[in-house]
A and B are shown apart, each in its own frame.
Chain A
């Protein structure tokens, strides 16, 4: 019934399909161009002379790129793990019967980092680190990433908890499982897809972050996005396109896995 209705309403807007096509083209053509040009044989990105995967090999043999990629992976791994742990605890805490007003306040506070202009966070974080005298490096990047990763990890976990029948926990209690066993045998297994999905999202956000990372990274702690920015300063080569395409590929794969997991009906 609902499906039939949505089909009808979209039919009542002639040209919707065309508009949608324009919209998606606007969003994705630049990205497709970058990917296409990463296979360009020519040194000058904008002149197509033939298909080649040489730039990928060049990138994968470049020790600077590899070091930046390694830094990115280290930061993303730790930031997403810490953020997911915090987000899971927050979501579980929220599920323990609180009034709607309290819930809304806490949810809004948790989502706030998504709304604050990134540059503000970046500057504030940098000033904070300098003030307390921490040396900038992988540690400071990880700390900063953990903060903005929390809301991304929190949302899918929260959604999962909200979608859970509260009677399931009661059923476990009713069947002689105490709090601990209920958590281990019922709550955790059902929450697991949400946690995994949250962790993957956090991982991607950390992997792709540029602005905050740029401010709080020090010498030797360059991450991939910061490195790409550095490459561009010396001119856009197909190598930049290749690195970007690789980063895009990793992100796409992770987002897809995250979506598939969170949709899974256990």
Chain B
């Protein structure tokens, strides 16, 4: 079949599907069903993805977050069609994508290396996808101008990629992918090559582009801060598995397990035994003489050993008598807006406490001082492992 025809068939199918589903806000655009990916075989076998199931909704900024080698890029490459899954299904708008080559998928990618064609001008790069579709020249020219305006690169049409800065190349790569009205835009760590200041700018820029175009973005990053600030929803991955997916707030405030709690932000991981289970909460024994209240999680039973997570900024320092637990400050690090205190607590270990350096704060506390550590019951989360 002719590619353009095949592509348009798929696109019209998806367009009518989206019209029907317009009233449901949380419609799933992409469904990954028990995807596994194995590279190599025998002794060289690498299991990159292990029965991953995920739903990505229409119009959301979805981030795959995890350390390098966790399988996030492999997942993106499966969506783009550069790799085929060993098992499982990928559905776009209910249509199976399996077996379709990348050039028949209404999906475009922004590559980590940008992958701009060095022998073509900026305009030729941006128009390449449309040209391959057989879009007439005048229409391509209009669209290229439109796209260059969108990424604020008017007047750069005739330049070659080598004549552009990293940030500008990045914008061209975005324009080139967006020019084709993809159903999904895939971004493979697109900001990792930029310096800090430019990266912050591009984060805002990406967010703006996503809002303006209303497109579904699937973004891959290993930077947890980037994931939290930009995404509507985040999937945290490790060792080929999705460990938790949800809004940035849900993932940060209520981590499901040790890895998520530790990978995203700072956290205190505290070993404890369930002392008593009540309605909506539970009591945990940290040491022979330390018992605290915490949030409830299903499956808690008296005597079970659990790990608790407490964010340093959700705890505060008090006079020794007023705290839930007592200890001694063994180290402090000043960060400007806030200060990190390390408090050694007998039989429990070291707790990190971050306090804002606001006017009229807790006054002078130094290393060696005896302090109390205070926190809300709600701030103590029980992890699944």
CA distance A67 to B306 in the complex (A): 93
CB neighbours of B281 from chain A (8 A): none
Please report which residues of chain A, range 168-188, place their CB below 8 angstroms from some CB of chain B when the two chains form the complex: 168, 170-178, 181, 185-186
B128 at the interface (CB under 8 A from A): yes
- A170 contacts B117, C-beta separation under 8 Å: no
A1 at the interface (CB under 8 A from B): no
CA distance A73 to B122 in the complex (A): 42
CA distance A174 to B128 in the complex (A): 10
Please report which residues of chain B, range 94-117, place their CB below 8 angstroms from some CB of chain A when the two chains form the complex: 101-104, 107-109, 111-113, 115-117
- A173 contacts B118, C-beta separation under 8 Å: no
CA distance A185 to B132 in the complex (A): 10
A190 at the interface (CB under 8 A from B): yes
- B132 contacts A171, C-beta separation under 8 Å: no
CA distance A167 to B112 in the complex (A): 9
- B119 contacts A176, C-beta separation under 8 Å: no
Least Cβ–Cβ distance between A237 and chain B, in angstroms: 50
- B113 contacts A173, C-beta separation under 8 Å: no
- B3 contacts A176, C-beta separation under 8 Å: yes
CA distance A7 to B8 in the complex (A): 60
Please report which residues of chain B, range 178-209, place their CB below 8 angstroms from some CB of chain A when the two chains form the complex: 180
The one of B101, B104, B115, B162 in contact with A171, judged by C-beta atoms closer than 8 angstroms, is B115
B133 at the interface (CB under 8 A from A): yes
Q: Mark A200-230, 1 if CB is under 8 A from B, else 0.
A: 0000000000000000000000000000000
CB neighbours of B7 from chain A (8 A): 176
Indicate whether A170 sits within 8 Å of B115 (C-beta atoms), given known contacts A175-B176, A176-B103: yes
- A168 contacts B3, C-beta separation under 8 Å: no
CA distance A168 to B125 in the complex (A): 11
Which residue of B108, B109, B115 has the most chain A CB atoms within 10 A of its CB atom? B115
CB neighbours of A266 from chain B (8 A): 118-119
Indicate whether A174 sits within 8 Å of B80 (C-beta atoms), given known contacts A168-B117, A181-B132, A186-B117: yes
Q: Mark B126-150, 1 if CB is under 8 A from A, else 0.
A: 0011001100000000000000000
Q: Mark A95-108, 1 if CB is under 8 A from B, else 0.
A: 00000000000000
CA distance A177 to B4 in the complex (A): 10
Indicate whether A171 sits within 8 Å of B82 (C-beta atoms), given known contacts A176-B133, A181-B132: no
- B117 contacts A178, C-beta separation under 8 Å: no
Indicate whether A189 sits within 8 Å of B108 (C-beta atoms), given known contacts A176-B7, A176-B129, A176-B133: no
Of chain B, the residue at the smallest CB distance from A176 is B132
- A173 contacts B101, C-beta separation under 8 Å: yes
- B113 contacts A175, C-beta separation under 8 Å: no
- B180 contacts A175, C-beta separation under 8 Å: yes
- A265 contacts B162, C-beta separation under 8 Å: yes
17 contacts between A and B (CB under 8 A): A170-B111, A171-B116, A174-B80, A174-B102, A174-B177, A176-B104, A176-B133, A176-B180, A177-B128, A178-B3, A178-B101, A178-B103, A181-B132, A185-B128, A189-B119, A190-B118, A265-B118
Question: 15 new A-B pairs (CB below 8 Å) besides A173-B101, A173-B103, A175-B176?
Answer: A165-B113, A167-B113, A167-B115, A168-B115, A170-B115, A171-B109, A173-B82, A176-B3, A177-B103, A178-B101, A178-B103, A181-B132, A186-B117, A265-B118, A266-B119
Nearest first, the 6 A-B pairs at minimum CB distance are A175-B129, A167-B115, A171-B115, A176-B132, A173-B102, A266-B119
